[in-house]
Amino acid sequence: MILLLLFPAIMACQGQQKKNANDKTQTNMRTPQEHTYSNHLINESSPYLLQHAHNPVDWYPWGDEAFEKAKREDKLVLVSIGYSACHWCHVMEKESFEDEETARLMNDNFVCIKVDREERPDVDHQYMDAVQLLTGRGGWPLNCFTLPDGRPVWGGTYFNNSQWKSVLEQLAGMYKNNRQPLLDQAKQLEEGIKSHNLVTPVTNEKPFSTKELQQAVDQWKNKFDKQWGGNKGAPKFPLPVKYEFLLDYVYHTDDVTVSRFIQLTLDKMAMGGIYDQIGGGFARYSTDEQWIVPHFEKMLYDNAQLIGLYSNAYRMWHKPEYKTVVYQTVGFLTRELRSDRGAFYSSLDADSDGAEGRYYVWTKQEIDTALGDQAPLFEAAYSVTENGNWEKGKNILFRSKPVEKIAVEFNLTSVQVQHQLDASEKKLMAIREQRIRPLTDTKILTSWNALTITGLTEAYRAFDDNDFLNPALTAARFIRDNRMEKSGKLVRAAKNKNTMIPAFMDDYAATSRAFINLYQVTFDEQWLNLAAKITQYGFDHFFDETSGLFGYTAKESQLVTGTKTETTDNVIPSSNAMMATVLHDLGIYFDNKHWREVSENMLRTLYENILQSPGYHSQWGLLLNHYLFPDYEIVFTGPNAQELKRRFDAEYVPALVAGSENPSRMPLLEDRVIQGETLIYVCKNQSCKLPVKTLQEALQQMEVKYIRDKTVHQ
């Protein structure tokens, strides 16, 4: 049991945080000024850390220097964690970290460390676990106080300035005058975090059950918002992996309720203010249940996955709206987040010109002036009102009715309406680009780029457009050439030319998966071989024989409370679930029985968790589907292998794809390439049926569902 320290003022602060976090009257102004102060962050490369480099707080980056100073001076350590696009991180900086009186309190009594959570998710995991154990909730900015050895003792999230000074004074006083409760708290928290991360492997051979999975999904249906999509209530996060699992589940089970729910969710998201109706791309979440009011920050990782989700949904249902979303969102990524080197930056800030969302919202007068006679139709289509549909007379652009209804209102055809809307969007986009832009977090993170490669390859599958494949290949080459060593070791990010941030399990799992996807769309075996090399390095340095799972950090670089074993999905899928899927696929490609066994054992360990909460174990659910509804391996060989594969990819058909135009020693391809002949082998569990020459014959062997005539036309 964790001891809750009885600091009345501090606990009162915690009670007020949720209220303050919803007070949108506070401003986030980061105005240019002469730099009176500089601290130890001045040589960092993270935009978030550099934003604090001229605070009067004597910030240190994460590292030994800060903790050695704390031990030498016998001070508590403050570990303050955030990220560049975090609105309330900027608010707390303005209110407290730029205040000289507050900074003196911090500098005199604490050694202060500032951490970019996206660079160091391992640090964030450790201290987030501590704060959640203490308070029952978490978030950013995350402020956790530790002993000089790094063990957490107390923490919280956002505090206004008066609350923050009270926290500082009480903790400093307790450490000087009565520190034993803090030492006891550190011990209990350390044990609590280790217990929280303890996973016991399952050794029984209980068979996986289709009926049990169906019952789990039926229970999950009670949480579906059948009016607006997503889970009931607010705020609403897209959480793409949930819908990827449900999409796969629909394919295998024909569950009409789930099918309708996925389409409802994707439709409402695409119509809502969470989607940038002018420039493409999604905000991180909506603050309401109707997807209308976004928290305006735009992150690479969820847009990357949403590209793949909408592409796969298009392959299933061929709704033109989904194609539009994919093309516009890829347009946003390549226009606003792609670096000169072809890799992708991390995010766009929620704020610009001193206010949240200012870059994206409009007054009716602005639209009237910009569009003239075309304004009434645009305003009807995008819910624009005279008084504004948001704050201070501003309008968030969202669609409340389909184009067909707008066409009836204005006595036009749907094609005419869409043509006018497209022209108006281009005019407003040109005007918007003249505004002060949100700050771009220019970190290039390996795992997030890998997720982007995977999303782009799914788009290429759906639309056979090299505008998706080419940026995926460029980003993959960036990782291969700049973030990967010959041993398979990866780095997560570069602090500078000489200092690299170590990679974590999500970097290894996501990159291996991305390279497998690249192989599947190009048949270039270098990507499959690189995926195997990365996976083997992950095995050697992250795998825990006791739990049968992978730690989040390498065994040689664990933090004071050990490593987190990440098994549940968040916005980014569980790193263990991704790695289990990678091991399953590579085990088939390379006929590696050990990898397949480890993958299945990992799934068995999490099986009961999947059944209890499939919404938080959806990446595991995708792997479980491979066992409950075994997918085929489909092998294309010969001079027209790529052409047949592209036709196959046009529809949503789960299968492990391999192929080559030339002889190959890969187990799935060996002795299956016959010169001058194009053949298709349909296999299951590495046992293949007789080869056929047409896609229609292969699909008949696979008993494929949902295939339209245009796909199989030869």
Question: Token pair for residue 554?
Answer: 């390498």
- Give every CB contact of residue 180 below 8 A, 6+ residues apart in sequence: none
Q: Is the pLDDT of residue 446 over 70?
A: yes
93: pLDDT strictly greater than 90 = yes
DSSP state at residue 556: G
3-class secondary structure per residue, 180-249:
HHHHHHHHHHHHHHHHHCCCCCCCCCCCCCHHHHHHHHHHHHHHECCCCCCECCCCECCCHHHHHHHHHH
Which of the listed residues 133, 164, 196 is the one where a domain comes to its end?
Answer: 196
Residue 205: pLDDT band (50, 70, 90) is confident
Structure-token pair, residue 93 = 């900086």
Q: Same domain, yes or no, for 354 and 455? A: yes
What pLDDT does 453 receive?
A: 98
439 vs 442: CA distance, rounded Å: 9
Same domain, 81 and 188: yes
Q: Which structure tokens are listed for 447? A: 């795992």
Residue 709 pLDDT greater than 80, yes or no? no
Same domain, 610 and 589: yes
Q: How far apart are CA 318 and CA 323, in angstroms?
A: 8
Per-residue pLDDT at 11 exceeds 60: no
* 174 and 282 part of one domain: no
Given a cut of 60, is residue 69 above it in pLDDT?
Answer: yes
Is pLDDT of 136 > 90?
A: no
294/2: higher pLDDT? 294
As given in the structure block, the two tokens for residue 641 are 């292998």
Task: Answer yes or no: is 33 within a domain.
Answer: yes
Which of 121-125, 330-334, 683-687 is most confident? 330-334
> Residue 674: its pLDDT value, please?
87
Alpha helices in 590-669 (DSSP H): 593-612, 618-628, 641-649
pLDDT digits (tens, 9 = 90+) for 289-341: 999 999 999 999 999 999 999 999 999 999 999 999 999 999 999 999 999 99
Q: Report yes or no on 408 lying in a domain.
A: no
Query: Residue 358 has which token pair?
Result: 């200012």
Q: Considering the domain boundaries, does residue 678 fall inside one?
A: yes
Cα 358 to Cα 353, 571, 635: the distances in Å are 7, 25, 51
Does any domain span residue 2? no
Domain of 707? 630-714
Q: Cα torsion at 601, 603, 608, 614 (round to 10°)?
A: 180
Per-residue pLDDT band for 703 (boundaries 50, 70, 90) equals confident
* Average pLDDT of the segment spanning 197-215: 85
Looking at per-residue pLDDT, the higher value among 66 and 27 belongs to: 66
Q: What is the C-alpha to C-alpha distance for residues 560 and 197, in angstroms, rounded to an integer?
A: 13
Lowest mean pLDDT among 85-94, 306-315, 335-344, 404-413: 85-94
- The residue whose two tokens read 């040109």 is 430
Residue 566, CA distances (Å) to 411, 552, 606 in order: 55, 6, 11
The CATH number assigned to the domain holding 330 equals 1.50.10.10
- Residues 645 and 512 placed together within one structural domain of the fold: no
Q: Which of residues 190 and 326 earns the better pLDDT score?
A: 326
Residues 664 and 709 in one domain: yes
Q: Is 463 part of any domain?
A: yes
| pLDDT score of 362 more than 50 | yes
Looking at residue 16, what is its pLDDT? 37
**Do 343 and 263 reside in the same domain of the chain?**
yes
In a domain, 444, yes or no: yes
Q: Which of 609, 626, 643 is the last residue of a domain?
A: 626
Q: Which of 580, 607, 626 is the last residue of a domain?
A: 626
Please determine, for residue 342, whether its predicted confidence score (pLDDT) is greater than 50.
Answer: yes
CATH of the domain at 712: 3.40.30
Answer positive or negative: Cα dihedral of 393, 395, 401, 407: positive
Q: Are residues 176 and 105 both part of a single domain?
A: yes
Task: Say if residue 355 is in the same domain as residue 250.
Answer: yes
Asked if 463 contacts 433 with a C-beta cutoff of 8 angstroms, the reply is no
Find out whether 341 and 478 touch, Cβ atoms under 8 Å.
yes
The crossing angle, in degrees rounded to 10, of helices 505-522 and 466-482 is 130
pLDDT value, residue 30: 43
The confidence score (pLDDT) of residue 628 equals 96
Helices (H) and strands (E) in the chain, counts: 27, 20
Question: What pLDDT score does 14 carry?
Answer: 42
416 part of a folded domain: no
369 and 393 in contact (C-beta within 8 Å)? Answer: no
Label residues 339-360 b or e (16+ Cβ within 10 Å = b): eeebbbbbbbbbbbeebbbbbb
Domain count, the chain: 3
Q: What tens digit of pLDDT does each residue of 579-628 get?
A: 999 999 999 999 999 999 999 999 999 999 999 999 999 999 999 999 99
pLDDT of residue 705: 62
**pLDDT value, residue 194:** 81
Residues 6+ apart with CB under 8 A from 329: 280, 281, 282, 303, 306, 307, 310
| pTM exceeds 0.85 for this model | yes
Asked if 589 and 487 sit in the same domain, the reply is: yes
Residues 227 and 257 in one domain: yes
Q: What average pLDDT does the chain have?
A: 91
CATH of the domain at 50: 3.40.30.10
Over the stretch 518-565, which tens digit does the pLDDT of each residue have?
A: 999 999 999 999 999 999 999 999 999 999 999 999 988 777 767 789
Beta bridge partners of 493: 501
Q: Which residue in 539, 505, 579, 606 sits closest to 208, CA to CA?
A: 606
Phi, psi of 620 (to 5 degrees): -65, -40
pLDDT band at residue 675 under the 50/70/90 scheme = confident
Q: Within a domain: residue 701?
A: yes
Residues 163 and 229 in one domain: no
Cβ contacts of 506 within 8 Å, gap of 6 or more: 121, 447, 552, 566, 572, 575, 578
pLDDT tens string 207-245:
999 999 999 999 999 999 999 999 999 999 999 999 999
Which tokens sit at 33?
Answer: 């000024």
